[in-house]
Structure 1
């Protein structure tokens, strides 16, 4: 697909995203923001093939043409290129190319990889979850949280519905779903796909959260099965290796992962979710839009 922007335009847009870096270095006439962005991209070194995900006891069997930025480079992209606060929990970033210039392509996506080590998540409730009811609860919670988001300067978020209903594969112990979110701020609004993947393991789960331009949502949905297939835990750390006599059991099940309260961090939404109602490039896909959602649902269930 042909990009809507020329290469200089993409560089200029990326340079705007890394403005703090450019200002800090006080670029002179011969050292343009675009040149700084190009040097930054050249400093990234995506890995290919089978790569380890340190800290998660997991690995990615990357198909030809895919790339993986390690934790250091991924955190630099989020902080220096995309102007987000630092996050040491980010373990890496999956790219649909082994050329880091794909990060400047407005027709591309990236997947942020984190790991939650809160124990073995039982899938005993998977078959009995009423996702239609859960959706209604999530819509109500999203609406109720908008006052707090406005107070903090974040866009309002409404949950339009499932873009793809939750699916749990009992054989691979992988869960994925997608939500259609509507972001609005200062009279400007737009839809974004919120695409989530959770890979369950013996001591926790991998959380894969996709970031992409809003006009590439169909491509993201088409490519995510590849990402799902490439991701797994190491031998001895897989879901089937759980030992109930020694291993920790998480305090929640599959339903809580989909609801999003524990699976995602409110901070990541704050860091990534605002990237661009103004610039119209990247929108967050896959991070919880509702900071207090799980607490509210859990309190309601207890009552």
Structure 2
């Protein structure tokens, strides 16, 4: 199994060009927001804070970190060219330094976790989902993204009930890494997607894992609280990776969460993420002293 640093993309001279282009994009977004005299992010929650997640759990926001409610997250993701990201919460270091993560909860039922994972077969399914995502991106005039392979192969932790993996994709010659963690509950799954610079992947994953220790389902919603009669999900661990219920949403045209998450569809040039995140913080409402 590959570790977070194995086969890591090393930034090249092309990244400087990507950074300049992305900086222009961020500047344009900031100007647009300023002209409207209305911040994109209106009500960020700064730690210490307890962020409720879909009424089934909460995420402890420590000092030095912040969270966004769904309305602010949707607006910010739209500005970052991720359409229809709804019922989703953002968690990040203050200033969105190095990384940010978004979390969504689906009450798809109790997922059996005794399935063997086949990374090669799953990768082929993800590539098919990637092409569906590109159909929508072409309609919007956005660059296509192509899935290259695993940055971190999928692996499951029975003790934490976390299923994690990372994909490596490419758009406009820039590499994009998306690290995903699925946390199983009694009645569904919380999906946490990390967006970061590939060069900072190992550090960002370590920070996210530390912050995830503050994420917990309510006492009656933990995986161990499963009871006879509870809804059972129609898929297992493999289905969670290839999209599960989200795949059906793509086929029916209901892109929403699936478009942004399925097959690493984020419109973030991660190789130039430092330039992007430095500009995005300008979209936030000025914090009161």
TM-score norm. by structure 1 comes to 0.67
- How far did 1:167 drift? 1.6
d(CA) in 2 for partners of 1:56 and 1:166? 28
1:231 aligns with 2:228: no
| More contact order relative to length (CA 8 Å, sep ≥ 6) | 2
Aligned-partner SS, 1:75: helix
- Among 226, 232, 235, which residue is 1:252 paired with? 235
1:1-303, aligned counterparts within 5 Å? 14-25=26-37, 43-49=42-48, 51-79=50-78, 82=80, 85=83, 87-90=85-88, 92-97=89-94, 102-103=95-96, 107-125=97-115, 128-139=116-127, 141=128, 145=132, 148=135, 151-152=138-139, 153-183=141-171, 188-213=172-197, 215-245=199-229, 247-263=230-246, 266-268=255-257, 270=259, 273-274=266-267, 281-282=275-276
How far 1:252 sits from its partner (Å)? 0.9
Cα distance in structure 2, aligned partners of 1:11 and 1:181? 21
Partner SS, residue 176 of structure 1 = strand
Greater CA drift, 215-224 or 158-167 = 215-224
Q: Number of aligned pairs? A: 244
Deviation at 1:204, TM superposition (A): 0.9
Q: Tell me if structure 1 keeps the 8 A contact 2:50–2:60.
A: yes
Whose radius of gyration is greater, 1 or 2? 1
Deviations 1:63-83 (A, max 9, x none): 44322223343334334x546
Rounded to whole Å, the distance in 2 between the matches of 1:157 and 1:148 is 10
Give me the whole-angstrom Cα distance separating, in 2, the residues matched to 1:116 and 1:213: 27
**Deviation string, structure 1 residues 104-161 (Cα, Å, up to 9, x no partner):** xxx5211112111111111121xx222223224434x257548735642343333222
Q: Work out whether residues 93 and 110 of structure 1, in 8 Å CA contact, stay in contact via their aligned partners in 2.
A: yes
TM-align CA RMSD: 3.4
Q: Classify the secondary structure of the residue corresponding to 2:91.
A: strand
Give ranges in structure 1 of 5+ residues lacking alignment. Answer: 5-9, 26-35, 284-303
Residue pair 2:182, 2:192 contacting (<8 A) in 1 also = yes
